[in-house]
Amino acid sequence: MRAAIAMVSVAAAALFGSVPARAASTDAAPAELYSYLVLTPSVGTAQTVLAESAVRRAGGVVVYAYGPVGVVVAHGGPGFAAAVRGRPGVARVGATRTVPLRGRARGRAPERVGAAGLPAVGSGGAVADPAEAAQWNLAMVHAYEAQRITEGSADVVVAVADAGVDDRHPDLAPNFAAELSADCSTGRPIRADAAWRAPRSDHGTHVAGTIAAARDGHGVLGVAPGVRIAALRLGDADALFHGEASVCGFVWLAEHADQGLRIANHSYYNDPWWLLCPDDEDQAVIHEAVRRAAAYAADRGVLSIAAAGNDAYDLAHKTVDPRSPNDAATRPARPRPVNDECRQLPAELPGVITVAAVGANGLRAGYSNTGLGVLDLAGPGGDGAAGGEGVLSTSGDGGWARKQGTSMAAPAVTGVAALIASMHPTWGPAAITARLYATAGRPECVAPCVPAGDVDSFHGHGLVNALRAVRSSSGPAGRG
Residues in contact with 242: Cβ distance below 8 Å, sequence separation at least 6, in sequence order:
35, 96, 97, 185, 187, 236, 270, 271, 272
- Residues 216-267: pLDDT tens digits? 888 999 999 999 999 999 999 888 999 999 999 999 999 999 999 999 999 9
Residue from 15, 68, 80 nearest 42 by CA: 68
Cβ partners under 8 Å of residue 361, min gap 6: 383
Q: What number does CATH give the domain 30-95?
A: 3.30.70
Region for 279 from its dihedrals, namely left if φ exceeds 0, alpha if ψ lies in -120 to 50, beta otherwise: alpha
Q: Domains of the chain: which residue ranges? A: 30-95, 128-470
* Residue-wise pLDDT tens digits, 172-208: 999 999 999 999 999 999 999 999 998 889 999 999 9
Q: Give the model's pLDDT for residue 466.
A: 98
Report d(CA 175, CA 196) in Å as an integer.
15
pTM of the model: 0.89
Q: What is the DSSP letter of 197?
A: S
- Residue 41 burial (10 A CB sphere; 0-12, 13-18, 19+): middle
Tell me the three-class secondary structure of 298-359, residue by residue.
HHCCCEEEEECCCCCCECCCCCEECCCCCCCCCCCCCCEECCCCCECCCCCCCCCEEEEEEC
Vertex 79: Cα angle to 73 and 80 (nearest 5): 25
423 touches 229 (CB < 8 A): no
Give the model's confidence band at 332: pLDDT under 50 very low, under 70 low, under 90 confident, else very high.
confident
- % of the chain exceeding 70 in pLDDT: 84
% of the chain surpassing 90 pLDDT: 78
What's the CATH class of domain 128-470? alpha beta
Question: Helices H, strands E: what count in the chain?
Answer: 10, 17
- Parallel/antiparallel/unpaired status of strands 391-394 and 400-403: antiparallel
